[in-house]
Amino acid sequence: ISIVNNFHLDANNQIQTKLLLTGASGFVGGFLMREASTRSFLVRIAGRGYLSLTDLPECEQSSGFELLSDADWSQALIRVEVVIHCAARAHIMNEELADPLAEYRKVNVVGTLNLARQAAAAGVKRFIFISSIKVNGESTAPGQRFLASDIPAPEDAYGQSKLEAEQGLLALAQETGMEVVIIRPPLVYGPGVKGNFASMIRLVDKGLPLPLGAIHNRRSLVGIDNLVDLIILCIDHPAAANRIFLAGDGEDLSTTELLRAVGKAMGRPARLMPLPAAFLRCGATLLGKQAVAKRLLGSLQVDISQTCDDLDWKPPFTVEESLRRCFLPGN
């Protein structure tokens, strides 16, 4: 790489965009770091500790950063043109803190806006914020889909904190002229995923009989490769400035269909028993597992048509392909 007047040139003498990526140790950030570094971007990652970057020559690292109200980002922002902000206090199931919203706000709102204000002051052109579909809500009625233009209706502290961060960023964009792009993904899956999706994979892999063979809900997901492709597109797409976009694979599945698709991708067919959804809801209520039942039995659909139309984008991988990539050798 040559450096001329502080601009980095690739092998074809094209100026490379310099990115600051937060949250590179996380699921989305880790995939994004690797993909961006292969697409002629220079990536600086900022976090609390070091990551092994021996195989990523287009990455550099700044350490010792906490996403707090008093963090000084000045060194990390030097010559950065675009910030991609993946770092956050993640959604925690069965949150037991007395005031979870206050804890989410410290990182997801105050910490985010502190970084964004410093980015604007440093001359950063665009700030891409990875939000959550939880800003829209937790479920959709049959036949309905969330839109980016919907009135936000978060139902938990995490979703509320993401909404407040979005509002602060859009206000900052008007105040400073720094462009803001907001992306709201639904459940993200891919190689090495954790949480509920990983639990589903383990259950199918064990060959346990599951009472989910007659569920007719519809849920939107987004494969990590599709989400990363969308984020990278938003780095310099002119139509992305100061917009909110919903992400997704463009294919909605029932829980039954998803389990069968996971089994097919693993080469291990899911063993499903066709119990009625109403019976499962009653059982979940008796066991105090209504939230689990809502995710397994309820619908959550997102409409990505505006994202596709405005950005001339199409998810590069189908759900079947994305699931198959979860189980490729080495993943």
Active site residues: 158
Q: 275: number of CA atoms within 13 Å, CB side?
A: 16
Paired sense of beta strands 7-9 and 126-130, if any: unpaired
The C-alpha atoms of residue 185 and residue 206 are separated, in whole angstroms, by 29
With vertex at residue 52, the alpha carbon angle to CA 66 and CA 59, rounded to the nearest 5 degrees, is 75
- Using DSSP bridges, classify how beta strands 41-47 and 17-22 pair: parallel, antiparallel or unpaired: parallel
Beta-carbon-side half-sphere exposure of residue 267 (alpha carbons within 13 Å): 4
- Using a 10 angstrom Cβ sphere, with 0-12 exposed, 13-18 middle and 19 or more buried, the burial of residue 203 is middle
Locate 25 and state its tokens.
């140790």
Q: What angle do CA 193, 199, 201 make, to 5 degrees?
A: 75
199 Cβ contact partners less than 8 Å away, ≥ 6 residues apart: none
* CB contact at 8 A, 308 and 250: yes
The kind and range of the H/E element at 157 are helix 157-176
Q: What is the largest CA-CA distance in the chain?
A: 68
Tokens of 103: 């804890």
